Chains A and B, each alone.
Chain A
Amino acid sequence: MWEVLSAMPGAFTAAFDPLGIMYLLAGTVLGFVFGVLPGLGGVTALALLIPFSYGMEQYHAMLLFTGSMGAVPLGGSISAILLNVPGTPQNVATAFDGYPLARQGKAGLAIGSAAAAASLGALFSLVLLILLIPMVRSIILSFGPPEFLMLILFGLVSIPLLTGRNFLTGLIAGCIGLSLSFIGFSGTSGVLRYNFGTMYLYDGLELTTVVMGLFAVSQAIDLVFTGGTVADKSITIQTKLSDVLEGVKMVFRYKKTFVRSSILGTIIGVIPGMGGVIANIFAWIVASQSSPRKAFFGKGEVEGVIASEAAVNAKDGGALLPTLAFGIPGSGEMAVLMGAFILQGIAPGPQFLRDRMDIAWAIILGLLFSNIITSIFGVLAARHMAKLTAVKGSIIAPIIVCASLMGALATRNEPIDMFVTLFFGFIGYVMDKYDFSKVTMVLGFILGRLAEISFSQGMMISGNDPSIFVTRPIALGLLISLVLLVVYMQVVVPLRRRLKLKTAGQAGGPAAKKARSGKQQYWTSLGFYFSLFVLAWFAAVVALGFTYPRRAQLFPLSVGLFTLPLVALTVLGYLSPRVADALGSIKGSQLFDLSLADELKATVGKAQKGKLNVGAFFTIVLWFLGAGVLFYTLGYLPGTAVFMFAFLKYYAGHGLKLSLALTAASSAAIWFIFSFCLGISPLSELLFS
């Protein structure tokens, strides 16, 4: 312990000279901006900085890297709060409560609490990290493939169980995610699956692409439909500094949630392959289940923002451990950071913590200060940023679309990613409206590959004896707690509820039934077509699954055959009111209350008056696809200019001057970031080479 601490003062004075502080600030600004923009994140920021760091002094390079890493999460949470667009995948759960708060005019409060939770979460995890250093070996060594499999199983089952309003559609969404993870080359069996003959799918779908589509593009569609502003017109937006500081205080009021989330975030960070998305979502779920204010979660509860933000920022401290101590990156950012270390002549691995504690301290302090700087900036700027919620959705939507398309392109320089992002945007919008949990789907997608790999590795280790998954103590413990949780949620809770209802002498049934019995024509419901689409997809998963060699079949076939009847049930629900009632009563969902016609009638703005409402959705789809085509054929700069102007002027009906000004400003901003900083050609190679 003492050796660990004694290296700190030396590292501090060596690293934090004026030049070092400048690098830290530069990294922080870059990280913050990349966090705010959807699609860009820590990985892109670090990859961008690596060439600059070449030849730089080691301490300074570390400050530059950690500066940008520490600033990304809070930047991402700001777009999540203000626009419901998570700036990075790891801010997904921040939007659950942050966005409802913004709608209530309390964006300042939400940002204030996020900023405070971020810094304090980082501080907490770094203290924890120092305490954990002596134990890191045993933690990492106790997680092998069987433990991983059980951990993933736990996550995948508990999340739809705890979060979804509807367990059935939640499960289906999770399985959609799992099935998407099967696409591409399977590392353990050497078989290429579900690539439909294209090389594009060799490596499967890119996480950023999927998340950005599901959350950013679908939110853009929603903003266009809603027509108004994020914060309701009738509400006065709080823009005083005292409102923001109120949010800061909240972290201390909910200190139990804060501490629990920070610990959770750190631990998830330590386990390789888990990462920020899982930390964020898990912390929110745990908080929402254990808080006495349970009922307010998801409707604008500050405690939810604190839980998710504390966990994400705590995760970086945790993720440092396996990276430094074993050369195993604990997160995507850490993987790139490791590459950067090596180019700096620093080799992460077992000897690192013993020999280079000075560098470790530069990293720890860099992360901490970057978080503090970002948080102070967040607190000071929050009340101005909150004003963004008074800007019309039809102005913000095209900007989100352009930024998402660019983010998709920048992730790995693959133009097709732009269309995949759009595709998941459309799907995400429909999933939202029909209660298919997008978060569960993302988790299934992230964890699916790891689950399959862990399973086959476990079987290979034990020589095909499945008992390995239940005989190792940690794996067994996880399994038992999962079983207990399922029993509790599915048997004890409903039983208790029924008893309560009986004693209260009232049945909630009839009223709910009445609400649902309005005339339903299934062919006007987009949900019906979506269910059919999912049914067809799983039929394809199963049919193709049979064509693969046995070692590559097990997972796709079991997921496919498990899901097919579930999806068939939802389709039946549309056809027969009786099935719908039976399904709906499982957890009182609103699944079958919506038909597209009713819904769009209520939400479509003036511009679409008198038009066929089903058409309105597809009009948006076509506009956004048009943007994709422009980006693809002309290149992103002319694409942004043409799409922004056309959309603002002709779709949203804004004035010529406003449209021109916004187009020019956003084109310039996008050019600066993507060509100037990231070196992406502004014109498409298709036409201009």
Chain B
Amino acid sequence: MKRSALRFIAVCLFSVLCLASAAVHAADGFPSKNITWLVPSKAGGGYDIYARAVGRQMQKYLPNKVDFIYMNLPAGGGVESLTKLYNAKPDGYTIGYVKVPGSIVSQMTLDFAKYDCEKIAYIGNITTDHDALVVKKDSPLNSFKELVAKGTVKFSTTGVGATSWVNTVVLTKEVGITPKYVHYTNTADAMLSVIRGDTDALVVPFFSTLQYANSGDVKLLVLNAASRAKEAPDVPTIGEAGYPGLADALSASRLIGCPPNTPPEVMKVLQDAFWQAVNDPELLTALDKAGFPIMEPCKGADSLKLVHACMGVFEKYKADLVESVQ
């Protein structure tokens, strides 16, 4: 009895040690352990959904079998997660999002955003959304022109630091609307505010509006893209509404990258796995069905171009952005 108890303990300890050492010994070369993915939204948010879906697919294409561990850091419209990424060890085991234009504008306007998007080592761009402007279904406004003519418009945004905020500021400045803001923290709340009639309009990615438009709760007035969307062929583009220069300025991209100075051989492994993942038909159909499609993905080197373009555009709106949160 006594001996069997001791034997049992010995077996327990032994198996614990074996399993622990198995966890430590892994394959050679990058990646040899789990990779942490910093996500600037709560679990279930758009960034989170893309991360989990793309991460799952990237795992298939990485040379060694490792997992992605997702860390949700929604604070500061993504400032927290990007600051953490910027200061992490540049070994490829921490990756994270750069929101374009959200992260870049935060860097330019919020004093505690201490990072530099130009120095991030980019893995690639998952997708580029185009925004749409929605109003309540029984709103007296029936076209973008009428909205501009109204003069003063109350906008919901999905939060200071979010892309929706940035794009609203730019849009209103360019077309000459006097904006009032009500900042929410997510798309659904901001959308409800419009449906409830607390605010007049909302600018969010087109695919987030489709559901609400199809159910007849809201109507789309304008799409910030170069061409009309096949899902909503009646909605005019911003160019057709008279502002062709705005289409590029108002897109939103979800870049992922590593801390500055991550070794190029590590970057290559991640970039290759990423590129294979975002071109995998299995992933593309699953995300398409869910209403979170992958559009205009690009490779690491091209991501930096998006960042530079964005920086150029937003320099002149700095003052308006700062003012909009007062």
Interface residues of chain A, those whose CB is within 8 Å of chain B, are 43, 47, 50-51, 54, 140-141, 144-145, 184-185, 187-190, 192, 199, 202-204, 272, 326-329, 335-339, 341-347, 349-351, 354, 412-414, 453, 456-457, 460-461, 463, 551, 637, 641, 657, 660-661, 664-665, 667-668, 671, 675-676, 679-683, 688-689
Contact = CB atoms under 8 A, between A and B. Distances in A.
Given A192-B112, A681-B34, A661 B5 contact: yes
Q: What 10 A-B pairs have minimum CB-CB distances, sorted nearest first?
A: A203-B75, A350-B215, A339-B44, A345-B289, A349-B211, A190-B160, A202-B80, A664-B12, A185-B76, A335-B44
A327 B188 contact: yes
Interface stretch (B48-56, B221-229, B253-261, B300-308): B48-56
A512 to B, nearest CB: 48
B90 interface: no
Given A145-B198, A189-B160, A412-B71, A683 B154 contact: no
Contacts of B217: 350
A675 B19 contact: yes
Contacts of B75: 184-185, 202-204
A351 B325 contact: no
A645 to B, nearest CB: 11
A150 B187 CA distance: 23
17 contacts: A140-B192, A184-B75, A185-B77, A202-B76, A336-B44, A339-B45, A339-B52, A342-B292, A349-B211, A350-B217, A351-B215, A413-B71, A456-B183, A463-B180, A641-B16, A661-B12, A681-B34
Contacts of A344: 290
Contacts of B74: 203
Nearest to A325: B215
B56 A682 contact: no
Interface string B76-114: 110110011001000000000000000000000010100
B310 to A, nearest CB: 19
A349 B212 contact: yes
A460 B9 contact: no
Nearest to B214: A351
A507 to B, nearest CB: 54
Contact of A343 (B83, B181, B185, B286): B286
Interface in B140-198: 154, 159-161, 180-185, 188-189, 192-193, 195-196, 198
Given A668-B12, A668-B15, A460 B181 contact: yes
Contacts of A43: 43
Contact of A637 (B20, B33, B70, B198): B20
Nearest to A667: B16
B81 to A, nearest CB: 9
A349 B215 contact: yes
Given A350-B217, A664-B9, A203 B211 contact: no
B290 A342 contact: yes
A347 B211 contact: yes
A457 B291 contact: no
Interface of B: 5-6, 8-9, 12-13, 15-16, 19-20, 23-24, 33-34, 36, 42-45, 48-49, 52-53, 56, 67, 69-77, 79-80, 83-84, 87, 110, 112, 154, 159-161, 180-185, 188-189, 192-193, 195-196, 198-199, 211-212, 214-215, 217, 286, 289-292, 325-326
Contacts of B181: 460
Contacts of A326: 188, 192
Contacts of B53: 343
A339 B48 contact: yes
Contacts of B6: 657
Contact of B43 (A336, A347, A664): A336
A341 B291 CA distance: 11
Nearest to B15: A668
A337 B33 CA distance: 28
Given A51-B52, A203-B73, A413-B69, A551 B326 contact: yes
Given A189-B160, A343-B53, A460-B181, A203 B80 contact: yes
Nearest to B55: A51
A202 B79 contact: yes
Given A202-B83, A335-B43, A343-B52, A689 B33 contact: yes
Contacts of A350: 211-212, 214-215, 217
Given A202-B75, A202-B76, A668-B15, A461 B20 contact: no
Contacts of B212: 349-350
A461 B44 contact: no
A671 B76 contact: no
A467 B90 CA distance: 53
A657 B43 CA distance: 44
A413 B16 contact: no
Given A185-B75, A203-B73, 15 more contacts: A51-B52, A145-B198, A187-B77, A190-B160, A199-B83, A338-B44, A342-B292, A343-B52, A347-B291, A637-B20, A641-B16, A660-B9, A661-B12, A667-B13, A668-B12
Contacts of B183: 187-188, 456-457, 460
A460 B182 contact: yes
A144 B192 CA distance: 9
A199 B115 CA distance: 13
A563 B198 CA distance: 33
A141 B9 contact: no
Contacts of B159: 187
Contacts of A551: 325-326
Nearest to A329: B44
Nearest to A204: B75
B43 A47 contact: yes
B122 to A, nearest CB: 22
A342 B16 contact: no
A329 B69 CA distance: 23
Contacts of B214: 350-351
A54 to B, nearest CB: 6
Contacts of B87: 199
Contacts of B193: 144, 457, 461
Contacts of B5: 657, 661
Contacts of A665: 12
B211 A190 contact: no
A454 B74 CA distance: 19
B189 A328 contact: yes
A184 B80 CA distance: 10
A54 B56 contact: yes
Contacts of B15: 668
Contact of A671 (B9, B16, B196, B215): B16
A141 B43 contact: no
Given A335-B42, A412-B71, A192 B34 contact: no
Nearest to A635: B20
A671 B13 CA distance: 11
Given A203-B74, A204-B75, A345-B286, A683 B24 contact: yes
Contact of B33 (A54, A463, A660, A681): A681
A140 B74 CA distance: 25
A461 B71 contact: no
A339 B180 contact: no
B49 A414 contact: no
Contacts of B49: 339, 342-343
A144 B190 CA distance: 11
Contact of B9 (A337, A338, A661): A661
A668 B16 contact: yes
Contact of B290 (A188, A347, A668): A347
Nearest to A680: B69
A242 B292 CA distance: 54
